[in-house]
């Protein structure tokens, strides 16, 4: 009886998925026999998991949809990672059986022994993301030629770091010159760039894509939310928001929604995208505090109070109605401070297990986007043209002067004039204002600067 119920549920779920796929195909004008082509560009943890989610859900409908992922070729897997990967494979009977059935197991044995070099694109085909070895995915269709991957894609998922988005999409634009219709682009990137002329403003990944390719903004969306890639793949309950123009966000929200991954939609693309980058800034500091205080719950809560008050202050500079962001922003911040790669980076830096000289791309973790975001937000908020009235000194100051945590992170990470321990000194400074005061300042003054997001 239980087996019959499970079979019935599987049948119903499959029917619902095919119905959603058919609806999206119809909206895109796809004819019978012409598959919907979805391509992930970039194979970091979240980009790989996102492609795997789509493959798990819709890959069974081979005549109706084609799901692929692009990553650069030639990235070798080091010996230590190969050995760890072998352990992961042998600890999972389902994965071991799958590899044996696909005649793919032997190469992992040889790599463990040092008799063979594995490559990141090679193992991705078997379902292993180099940045998330301990979470095996489903096998993926991997393409290493960018032109082949994207030239006829209907939907492109940007899984690149924000620091690589512009360069790759400028190359992609060369392959789309003959296109008649523009593709849909869903960006997963969380990070920003700062432009200081002619006026200080933020440039987001969706804006980079728009400028690089000419694809209209109504076809470019941002997907973000409080989630950890490995946990989403393991079907932990999660929420996300897809933000952008109404033409595509509601159909895509429905298409992406799963029982364990609920996708809502929102029209405020740029603000949500910027906030996705902002929380990475403060997550690095959270990791430092956790490491330096031996995971003191009290110290971490003090840091949380100060960093969220700064984030609330910054949202009042960026958003006309920032209260609408309070829930999603704090939820995304909370999970990133708990378990994100930026928090991990802060921890390892404070423990001395990694150094700033290693750069922002860390083996096994990928790009730490919070570092560049620290520099970008500091540059923007230190501009005198954005001055606000200092509550105590009663004189105009750059907004960054009211953000001591951001200033300290800049000194630690960007100009490197202070050690990680400086983050604790910032918290212990008796001249530091009560976080409540910073929130009251933000809520009681007209700080909104629409120019920061490129608004008139």
Query: Is the residue at 81 inside a domain?
Result: no
**Considering the domain boundaries, does residue 259 fall inside one?**
yes
> Considering only 10-19, 331-340, 370-379, which range has the smallest mean pLDDT?
10-19
Residue 92 lies in a domain: no
For 150-197, write each residue's pLDDT tens digit: 999 999 999 999 999 999 999 999 999 989 999 999 999 988 899 988
Give the Cβ contact number of residue 147 at 10 Å: 12
In terms of Cβ atoms closer than 10 Å to its own Cβ (0-12, 13-18, 19+), residue 247 is middle
> Shortest CA distance to 286 belongs to which of 402, 379, 409?
409
Say how far apart CA 51 and CA 47 lie, in whole Å: 6
| Residues 301 and 155 both lie in one domain | no
Please report which confidence band the pLDDT of residue 446 belongs to, taking 50, 70 and 90 as the band edges. Answer: low
237 located within any domain: yes
Which residue of the set 30, 64, 190, 279 is catalytic? 279
Residue 277 shares a structural domain with residue 299? yes
Q: Which domain holds residue 210?
A: 16-73+142-190+204-267
CA dist., res. 132 & res. 128, Å (int) = 7
**What does residue 332 show for φ and ψ, rounded to 5 degrees?**
-65, -40
Instruction: For residue 193, give the H/E element and its range.
Output: strand 193-195
Taking the C-alpha atoms of residue 345 and residue 283, their distance in angstroms, rounded to an integer, is 9
pLDDT digits over 405-438, tens only? 999 999 999 999 999 999 999 888 777 777 777 7
More confident residue, 353 or 226: 353
Q: What is the rounded distance in angstroms from the CA atom of residue 287 to the CA atom of residue 368? A: 13
Give yes or no: residues 247 and 374 share one domain: no
Chain-centroid distance, C-alpha 300: 23
Span of 249-263, 272-286, 302-316, 427-441 with lowest mean pLDDT: 427-441
Q: Which of 252, 267, 282 is the last residue of a domain?
A: 267
Domain end, chosen from 267, 286, 319, is at 267
pTM for the whole structure: 0.89
List of E strands, 201-248: 201-203, 220-224, 238-243
Does residue 198 sit within a domain? no
Angle at which helices 93-101 and 105-112 pack, to 10 degrees?
110
Q: Which residues contact 177 (CB under 8 A, 6 or more apart)?
A: none
Radius of gyration, CA atoms only, the chain: 23
What is the arithmetic mean of pLDDT over 123-135? 95
Residues 215-219 have a mean pLDDT of 96
User: Residue 316 sits in a domain of what CATH number?
Assistant: 1.10.1040.10
- pLDDT for 7 equals 38
Same domain, 396 and 439: yes
Same-domain pairing of 172 and 274: no
When mean pLDDT is compared over 219-233, 380-394, 407-421, the highest value belongs to: 407-421
Domain shared by 322 and 423, yes or no: yes
Last residue of a domain, one of 267, 283, 302: 267
What is the tens place of the pLDDT at every residue in 235-267?
Answer: 999 889 999 999 999 999 999 999 999 999 988
Cα 348 to its chain centre, rounded Å, is 20
Name the band, by pLDDT with cuts 50, 70 and 90, for residue 323.
low
In-domain check, residue 98: no
In the chain, the number of structural domains is 2
Among 29-33, 60-64, 299-303, 439-443, the least confident range: 439-443
- The pLDDT of residue 312 is 85
Calculate the dihedral angle through the C-alpha atoms of 367, 370, 373, 378, rounding to the nearest 10 degrees: -140
Give domain status of residue 109, yes or no: no
3-state DSSP helix/strand/coil percent for the chain, to nearest 5? Answer: 55, 10, 30
Helical ranges in 340-430 per DSSP H: 341-351, 369-381, 404-413, 422-428
Q: What is the pLDDT of residue 445?
A: 62
pLDDT at 275 over 50: yes
The answer on 250 and 179 residing in a single domain is yes
Distance CA(162)–CA(160), nearest Å, equals 6
Mark whether 324 is an active-site residue.
Answer: no
Output phi, psi for 195, to 5 deg: -115, 130
Model pLDDT, residue 263: 94
| 449 shares a domain with 417 | yes
Is pLDDT of 148 > 90? yes
**Which residues in 305-390 belong to E strands, given as ranges?**
361-362, 366-367, 388-389
Instruction: Let me know whether 252 and 339 are in one domain.
Output: no
- Mark whether 305 and 255 lie in a shared domain: no
Angstrom distances, CA of residue 435 to CA of 129, 320, 332, 387, 406: 40, 21, 20, 20, 14
Instruction: Identify whether residues 259 and 301 lie together within a single domain.
Output: no
176 and 316 share a domain?
A: no
Instruction: Flag whether 416 is in a domain.
Output: yes
Total number of residues shown for the chain:
456
**Which residues, 6 or more positions from 108, have their beta carbon under 8 angstroms from its beta carbon?**
82, 85, 86, 89, 99, 118
- Contact of 189 with 165, CB cutoff 8 Å: yes
- CATH of residue 226's domain is 3.40.50.720
Query: Residue 11: in which H helix or E strand, if any?
Result: helix 2-27
Pairwise pLDDT comparison (323 vs 389), residue with the higher score: 389
Taking the C-alpha atoms of residue 196 and residue 235, their distance in angstroms, rounded to an integer, is 42
């Amino acid at each position: 009886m239980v087996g019959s119920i499970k079979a019935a549920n599987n049948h119903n779920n499959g029917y619902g998925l095919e119905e959603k796929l058919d609806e999206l195909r119809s909206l895109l004008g796809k004819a019978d026999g012409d598959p919907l082509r979805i391509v992930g560009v970039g194979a970091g943890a979240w980009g790989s998991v996102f492609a795997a989610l789509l493959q798990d859900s819709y890959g069974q409908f081979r005549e109706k949809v084609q799901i692929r992922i692009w990553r650069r070729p030639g990235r070798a897997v080091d010996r230590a990672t190969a050995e760890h990967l072998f352990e992961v494979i042998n600890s999972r009977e389902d994965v071991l059986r799958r590899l044996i059935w696909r005649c793919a197991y032997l190469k992992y044995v040889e790599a463990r022994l040092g008799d063979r070099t594995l490559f990141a694109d090679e193992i991705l085909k078997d379902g292993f993301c180099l940045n998330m070895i301990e979470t095996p995915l489903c096998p993926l269709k991997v393409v290493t030629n960018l032109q082949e991957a994207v030239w006829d894609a209907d939907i492109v998922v940007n899984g690149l770091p924000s620091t690589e988005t512009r360069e790759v999409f400028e190359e992609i634009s060369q392959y789309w010159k003959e296109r008649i219709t523009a593709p849909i682009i869903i960006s997963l990137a969380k990070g920003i760039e700062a432009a200081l002329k002619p006026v200080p403003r933020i440039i987001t990944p969706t804006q980079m894509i728009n400028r690089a390719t000419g694809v209209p903004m109504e076809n470019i969306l941002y997907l973000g939310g409080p989630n950890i890639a490995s946990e989403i793949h393991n079907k932990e309950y999660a929420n996300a928001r897809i933000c952008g123009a109404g033409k595509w966000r509601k159909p895509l929200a429905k298409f992406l929604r799963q029982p364990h991954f609920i996708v809502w939609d929102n029209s405020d693309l740029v603000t949500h995208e910027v906030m996705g980058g902002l929380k990475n800034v403060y997550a690095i500091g959270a990791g430092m505090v956790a490491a330096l205080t031996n995971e003191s719950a009290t110290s971490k809560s003090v840091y949380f109070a100060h960093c969220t008050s700064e984030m609330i202050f910054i949202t009042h500079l960026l958003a006309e109605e920032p209260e609408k962001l309070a829930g999603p922003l704090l939820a995304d911040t909370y999970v990133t401070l708990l378990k994100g790669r930026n928090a991990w980076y802060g921890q390892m830096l404070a423990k001395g297990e990694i150094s700033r000289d290693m750069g922002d791309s860390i083996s096994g973790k990928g790009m730490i986007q919070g570092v560049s975001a620290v520099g970008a937000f500091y540059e923007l908020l230190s501009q005198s043209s954005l001055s606000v009235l200092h509550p105590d000194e009663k004189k105009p100051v750059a907004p960054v002067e009211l953000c001591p945590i951001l200033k300290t992170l800049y000194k630690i990470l960007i100009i490197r004039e202070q050690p990680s321990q400086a983050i604790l000194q910032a918290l212990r400074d008796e001249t530091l204002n009560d976080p409540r005061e910073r929130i009251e300042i933000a809520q009681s003054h007209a700080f909104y600067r629409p120019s920061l997001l490129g608004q008139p």
